Amino acid sequence: MPDPRALRIDVGPFRLEPTPAAGTWTAVARGDGGGAASGITASWSDWVAFAEKVRRADELWREREARGDAWDEGFVAARDAAAVNPYR
User: Is 56's pLDDT higher than 90?
Assistant: yes
User: Is 81's pLDDT higher than 70?
Assistant: no
pLDDT band, residue 49 (cuts 50/70/90): very high
Alpha helices in the chain (DSSP H): 44-79
pLDDT value, residue 5? 63
Q: What is the mean pLDDT of the chain?
A: 76
* Cβ–Cβ < 8 Å for 29, 38: yes
* 10-32 mean pLDDT: 79
pLDDT value, residue 70? 75
Residues 41, 17: Cα–Cα separation, whole Å? 9
pTM confidence score? 0.56
